[in-house]
Amino acid sequence: MDEGVKKMVMIGIVVVGFPLAGIIFWTTRGSNRNQEIPADEMQLVKCNNPACGASYEVSMREYSTFQREHLNPLASSAAAMTCTKCGKPSVYKAFKCAKCEKVSLYGSVPNDFGDRCPECKFSQMEADRKAAQEARGQ
Ligand SMILES: [Zn+2]
Ligand SMILES: [Zn+2]
């Protein structure tokens, strides 16, 4: 290809391509985020009321919509959902330990991985991170 034509093509890509990428990024970011969550994706939640302690799954879309509508910008913690069992606003995001299968509230252990199991101290995030580090080291 002629050098001059090559340069023209390059300029064309830079001038047209970059703003286009920006527009795509901006529109996908600004769109309804719920669309990106698969309809069948579930979020495990647990009731923090000691007298109840129920744990069940809610649809991820429902959970994220609730969080967006009820989140207090001044509070760093997630908004509590109303428990379907005891009716108290004490339901938070939870996880099931991959090792001992106990359901615990997400972030049970302060200043640690969110999925640190308070029961057996296992954390899937930590295990994944370690595995990734080991894979990189080889
Ligand atoms: Zn409850
Ligand atoms: Zn555990």
Ligand 1 centroid from CA 66, angstroms: 17
For strands 103-105 and 55-59, give the pairing.
unpaired
pLDDT digits (tens, 9 = 90+) for 48-97: 999 999 999 999 999 999 999 998 777 767 899 999 999 999 999 999 99
Locate the domains of the chain by residue range: 3-31, 39-96, 97-138
Ligand 1 centroid from CA 79, angstroms: 15
Tell which residue, 62, 56, 22, has the closest CA to residue 40. 62
Q: Of the bound ligands, which one is closest to the alpha carbon of residue 54?
A: 1
Q: Of the bound ligands, which one is closest to the alpha carbon of residue 85?
A: 1
Ligand 1 centroid from CA 87, angstroms: 6
Mean pLDDT for all residues in the chain: 87
Ligand 2 centroid from CA 118, angstroms: 7
Ligand 1 centroid from CA 119, angstroms: 21
Ligand 2 centroid from CA 57, angstroms: 19
Q: Of the bound ligands, which one is closest to the alpha carbon of residue 90?
A: 1
Please, what is the Cα angle at 107 between 66 and 122, to 5 degrees?
A: 130
pLDDT more than 70, % of the chain: 83
In the predicted model, is pLDDT for residue 5 greater than 90? no
Ligand 1 centroid from CA 94, angstroms: 13
Pairwise CA distance, residues 105 & 115, whole Å:
8
pLDDT digits (tens, 9 = 90+) for 95-114: 999 999 999 999 999 999 99
Q: Of the bound ligands, which one is closest to the alpha carbon of residue 46?
A: 1
